[in-house]
Chains A and B, each alone.
Chain A
Amino acid sequence: MEIDPFIFRLSIFILSIFIGYYVVWSVTPSLHTPLMSVTNAISSVIIVGAIIAGLSTDSQNIFNVSSIFGFLAIFLAAINIFGGFLVTQRMLQMYKKKKKDK
């Protein structure tokens, strides 16, 4: 009997929760704010769904309700991706400067 692909995705999901659990506990408390901003940025990988929606149109009908929602989602997720990674970078840069000072 063949296994439903859903089960594979479920396995990935469950194992990722465990990975997340152990990885996040290893994050030093002083970097908890960058942790939040970077998780924010990576959760915006949801943009892949938005791109699929945006690209699903043909040339006669670029703007239908579905693709408009897709475009809007691309816009929102892009704010998050750029904003999230850059603000994280900015914060982490501050943690670096001091090492040089010493």
Chain B
Amino acid sequence: MSANLSAVFYLFSGVLFILALRGLSSPKTSRQGNFFGILGMIIAITVTFLSIGNFSSGFIYVLIFLLIGGLVGAFIAYKIPMTSMPELVAGFHSLVGLAAVFVAISAFLNPQAFNLGSPGNIKISSLIEMSIGAAIGAITFSGSIIAFLKLRGIMSGSPITFKGQHFINLLLGISIVVLIFYLCNTQSQSFFWRLIEISLLLGLLLIIPIGGADMPVVISMLNSYSGWAAVGIGFTLENSALIITGALVGSSGAILSYIMCKGMNRSFFNVILGGFGATEKSLSSKGKEQKPVKSGNAEDAAFLMKNASSVIIVPGYGMAVAQAQHALREMVDVLKKNGIKIKYAIHPVAGRMPGHMNVLLAEANVPYDEVFELDEINNDFANSDVAFVIGANDVTNPAAKTDTQSPIYGMPILDVERCKSVLFVKRSLSPGYAGVDNELFYRDNTLMLFADAKKMTEEIVKNLD
């Protein structure tokens, strides 16, 4: 296959990838979009085989590795529970990063295969491109591993900070640039290896100071990085499919990070510099006095909701941890049978990654047209009888509006306080991730339901009959 023809096909598969993302603008077109993505990938891979046209020796091994990897991937995709999506995505990011590093290494060691010159005499521009691809890939890899370990709970979610951290990161960043410069001057292998090592270290150090609550931002950010790594490799290989895809993924991750930051009213730099969640804990414990709380049981909750005409459900990550989404749907089904209007309200940072809560509700067969985003639903709270808050806390805290001293001040919240009555399903009065007390707990129209989210919801269902 001629180089021009394959370039046209690569362009075509790039366009299919654009359509894949475009399809996600609505659930109806999304499956078609995914199909376009798969088609684009098949075209890209087939064209690569045909353009090289070497089906003799390595070909069989390429197929074997492709097949084994594919089987592993398919197995994971079918086995993974939806609550573990954040870990899965973090893990996948690390693989993209590592693959980028490996491709860069291959190209560096065997530049003839890629038409980039000969070892020790690689074109300078290609050398810069592959170094950037390798460096960002390595940062993505080690950063995603840390994110994976934190999300999985293998590593503590609390931020790890030490003196001079940012200075060290800055130093590492500068040394990456210096190394690339010397690499171009000398073409020496040892500079290339140092470059990868330092990038790995930098990825590690960038993510360890970021706390568990900021993980949605971290995942989105690493998503973006994996895209930029692909762009670096795409320039090296002069492949437009890779460049287009990398740019799409890079901007997608950047936009998601921005949306997540806005959802928490924190600047991107504030998140990256880290340490959130550790310093604030002390704040809540000292100002804590015993205030009266109204607590109730499943019977009270069932009574309140039965007599309501509209109920808004506010799910949070606690619901996912307790695996209460199916029980919740059952409860809603009973309520709906009684003619009660139901809506779900989802805060942008309700899960551990962007859109996580929506997927969990979808898994429990909640129709997506009953699920609303913050801006769409916030005015409805005032006209609703009951807000059923399950496993959420900080995202409902009015302190974000009133208390300028609060660490969450300025964060957009769901206005559950404007409902006639508020039900909180929670295990205890303990503060949420941000470490701030929620004054809503002590209001007259709030009823606390202290229990495991799943058990409580199941009991409410029993009491509704």
Q: Which of B56, B227, B248 has the most CB of A within 10 A?
A: B248
* Binary B-proximity of A74-88 (CB < 8 A = 1, otherwise 0): 111111111111111
- B89 near A24: Cβ-Cβ < 8 Å: no
- A40 near B96: Cβ-Cβ < 8 Å: yes
Do A13 and B358 form a contact, CB below 8 Å, given A27-B24, A49-B239, A77-B69?
no
Task: Report the 5 A-B pairs with minimum CB-CB distance, sorted nearest first.
Answer: A78-B69, A32-B355, A56-B113, A83-B73, A82-B73
- A37 near B89: Cβ-Cβ < 8 Å: yes
CB of A44, distance to nearest CB on chain B (Å): 6
- A42 near B365: Cβ-Cβ < 8 Å: no
Which residue of the partner chain A has the closest CB to B247?
A16
Which residue of the partner chain B has the closest CB to A94?
B362
Interface size on B, residues (CB 8 A): 118
Residues of B within 8 A of A64 (CB): 110
Residues of B within 8 A of A19 (CB): 18, 247-248
* Binary B-proximity of A31-62 (CB < 8 A = 1, otherwise 0): 11111111111111111111111111111001
- A45 near B41: Cβ-Cβ < 8 Å: yes
Interface: B241 (CB within 8 A): yes
CB of A91, distance to nearest CB on chain B (Å): 6
- A90 near B252: Cβ-Cβ < 8 Å: no
How distant is the Cα of A16 from the Cα of B229 in the complex, in angstroms? 15
| Residues in B21-71 with C-beta less than 8 Å from chain A | 21-22, 24-28, 30-31, 33-34, 37-38, 40-41, 44-45, 48-49, 52, 54, 56-59, 61-62, 65-71
Interface size on A, residues (CB 8 A): 85
CB of A45, distance to nearest CB on chain B (Å): 5
Query: Interface residues, chain B, CB within 8 Å of chain A?
Result: 10, 13-14, 17-18, 20-22, 24-28, 30-31, 33-34, 37-38, 40-41, 44-45, 48-49, 52, 54, 56-59, 61-62, 65-74, 76-78, 80, 82, 85, 88-89, 92-93, 95-96, 98-100, 102-103, 105-107, 109-110, 112-114, 125, 219-220, 223, 226-227, 229-231, 233-253, 255-256, 259, 346, 348, 351, 353-356, 358-359, 362-363, 365-368, 371, 373
* Binary B-proximity of A1-20 (CB < 8 A = 1, otherwise 0): 00001100100110011011
How distant is the Cα of A84 from the Cα of B373 in the complex, in angstroms? 26
Query: Interface residues, chain A, CB within 8 Å of chain B?
Result: 5-6, 9, 12-13, 16-17, 19-21, 23-59, 62, 64-67, 69-99, 101-102
- B363 near A38: Cβ-Cβ < 8 Å: no
- B66 near A78: Cβ-Cβ < 8 Å: yes
- A80 near B102: Cβ-Cβ < 8 Å: no
Q: Which of B73, B125, B236 has the most CB of A within 10 A?
A: B73
